[in-house]
Amino acid sequence: MKNIAILTCRKAADVCTGAACMKAFNEKTGSFSAYGEPARLVAFMQCNGCGSDPTDENMAKKIARLEKDGADCVHIGICSEPSPGVECEIITQIAGIIETRGIAVVRGTHA
């Protein structure tokens, strides 16, 4: 069984419930369609906001929790693109840190 986490943009949370990401995960559509085996959602997290330091103590705690909870893969929500095809620099840095911990990163959730 794959343990999946979703990382979204904190600013997008002002207008987003996460429903489309959750629906895609539950129905195995979008980027979750790649999972032929059972998968479970172990985390739904946000960045620490625009201008935050992706290497700060708070993000380090979040990433440590992903490791503790056995996340195999983190999907990056489409909300992390301030414009189509351009990923937020902070999200990109967080993704890089996550990958150095041996956790796969997939860009995309429901689209």
Looking at residue 92, its amino acid is T
Q: Average per-residue pLDDT in the chain? A: 94
What's the pLDDT at 65?
Answer: 97
Residue 31: DSSP 8-state? G
> Helix/strand/coil (H, E, C) string of 9-26?
CCCHHHCCCCHHHHHHHH
Pick the CATH number of 2-107 from 3.40.50, 3.30.420, 1.10.3470, 3.30.300: 3.40.50
Q: Where are the domains of the chain?
A: 2-107
46-50, 70-74, 78-82: least confidently modelled range: 78-82
Whether residue 5 contacts residue 73, with contact meaning beta carbons closer than 8 Å, is answered with yes
| CA–CA gap between residue 88 and residue 86 (Å, rounded) | 7
Closest CA to 41 of 1, 7, 17, 5: 5
Q: For position 111, what pLDDT does the model report? A: 72
pLDDT grade, residue 82 (50/70/90)? confident
pLDDT tens per residue across span 10-36: 999 899 999 999 999 999 999 999 998
